[in-house]
Amino acid sequence: MTKVIDCVAIGEEIMQEIQEETSQLKAKGITPGIATLLVGDDFGSKMYRGQVEKFCEEAGFNYVNKILPAEATEEQVKEAVLELNADHEVSGILPLRPFPEHISDYAVINSIDVNKDIDCFHPFNMGRLTLGEATFPPATPAAVIEILERFARKEDKVDPKDFFEGAEIVVVGHSNTVGKPIALLVLNRNATTSVTHVFSSMKGNLEKHTTGADILIVAAGKAGLIGPEQVKEGAIVIDVGINRVKVFDEKGEPVLNEKGKQKSKTVGDVSFEAVKGKTKAITPVPKGVGSVTNRMLMKNALKACKIHYKIL
């Protein structure tokens, strides 16, 4: 029978663990903290900033809200990063991108203390990830691993090490922030790892790979990319994609809201209802991987705090 993985419950479980560890640190006079760095007023960045603040409050972390005007120079942004690097209340720094065009991502990210780079933006930490060394794994890829590890322990009743070793894992998508680090994290766990992308699709080779996957991880940002014909019977499917799509009824007519506008909804890259029955386990969208992602960021901040105070 298919198991729909309860990512919301996993996210809550992780938050409880973080809260417990934070209390223990606070008893020693140490409080972990996250600083966000916003330059200008990008809408998506402001939304994300608000979420980070909320999660910090929930976890009992310090939160520092650094905002610079859109006209700030690159030097001023780098200076702000250096101040946060030196601030003992800040364990982790989150630059909220996109920055205004005149600010180089590269210059800002390279000025972050590598021990405060909690979403693994810095090339040093990406290098460590590639080498399989301890680092801050980026939040979304770390969420995928956390979901699979907890599934292995609780549902499959196997040690995560045995779960990954030799498993046929196929990743769809190879972006630097999601697909590629996911592939590195599973490769570092000795999975037989294939990475597919838009060129695999263009050559008509996507299905050849995905149907061989024991574990299929999809991060392409294309609604409906994966249907039942792309999935092996009994596979575990992790859908990272988040897409907004228009809603139509069975006759193909647009479904309207009370204001007369066409309704839209959030879906993943996998046709959930059509694929579900074929799988051993699957994550939904919404309430899927995204429910764990922010928690992994908090976990990284906790780790950064322990590194800072030399208790790790």
94: Cβ contacts below 8 Å, ≥ 6 apart: 34, 35, 36, 37, 52, 118, 119, 297
Hey, which residues does 66 pair with through a beta bridge?
37
Query: Which one of the spans 2-10, 24-32, 194-202, 300-308 is the region binding ligand NAP (CB under 6 A)?
Result: 194-202
Whose Cβ is closer to ligand NAP: residue 110's or residue 177's?
Answer: 177
Q: Rounded to an integer, what distance in angstroms lies between the CA atom of residue 240 and that of residue 111? A: 30
Query: Which one of the spans 30-38, 82-90, 112-120, 168-176 is the region binding ligand NAP (CB under 6 A)?
Result: 168-176
Whose Cβ is closer to ligand NAP: residue 68's or residue 282's?
Answer: 282
Q: Rounded to an integer, what distance in angstroms lies between the CA atom of residue 234 and that of residue 279? A: 4
76: Cβ contacts below 8 Å, ≥ 6 apart: 68
Site residues for ligand NAP, window 200-239 (CB under 6 A)? Answer: 200-201, 206, 219-222, 225
Say what the alpha-carbon torsion angle 16, 20, 26, 28 is, to the nearest 10 degrees.
Answer: -160
The site for ligand NAP, by CB under 6 A, has a size of 27
What is the distance of C-alpha 51 from the center of its chain? 14
Whose Cβ is closer to ligand NAP: residue 78's or residue 222's?
Answer: 222
105: Cβ contacts below 8 Å, ≥ 6 apart: 95, 97, 99
- CB of 12 vs ligand NAP, minimal distance in Å: 16
What are the tokens at 62? 């310090």
Whose Cβ is closer to ligand NAP: residue 18's or residue 223's?
Answer: 223
231-235 long-range contacts (CB < 8 A, ≥24 apart) are 231/275, 231/278, 231/279, 232/278, 233/278, 234/278, 234/279, 234/280, 235/278, 235/279, 235/280
For the chain, what percentages of helix, strand and coil (3-state, to nearest 5) are there? Answer: 45, 20, 40
Q: Identify which of 125, 156, 151 has the alpha carbon closest to the alpha carbon of residue 138.
A: 125
Whose Cβ is closer to ligand NAP: residue 117's or residue 269's?
Answer: 269
- CB of 285 vs ligand NAP, minimal distance in Å: 8
- Would you count residue 10 as binding ligand NAP (CB under 6 A)? no
- Would you count residue 198 as binding ligand NAP (CB under 6 A)? yes
- CB of 175 vs ligand NAP, minimal distance in Å: 3
- Would you count residue 299 as binding ligand NAP (CB under 6 A)? no
Query: Which one of the spans 49-57, 94-102, 176-184, 185-193 is the region binding ligand NAP (CB under 6 A)?
Result: 176-184
Site residues for ligand NAP, window 128-147 (CB under 6 A)? Answer: 140
| Near ligand NAP by CB under 6 A: residue from 84, 142, 172, 298 | 172
The interface mask with ligand NAP, positions 232-271, x = CB under 6 A, is --------xxxx----------------------------
Which parts of this chain interact with ligand NAP (CB under 6 A)?
140, 172-175, 177-179, 196-201, 206, 219-222, 225, 240-243, 289-290, 293
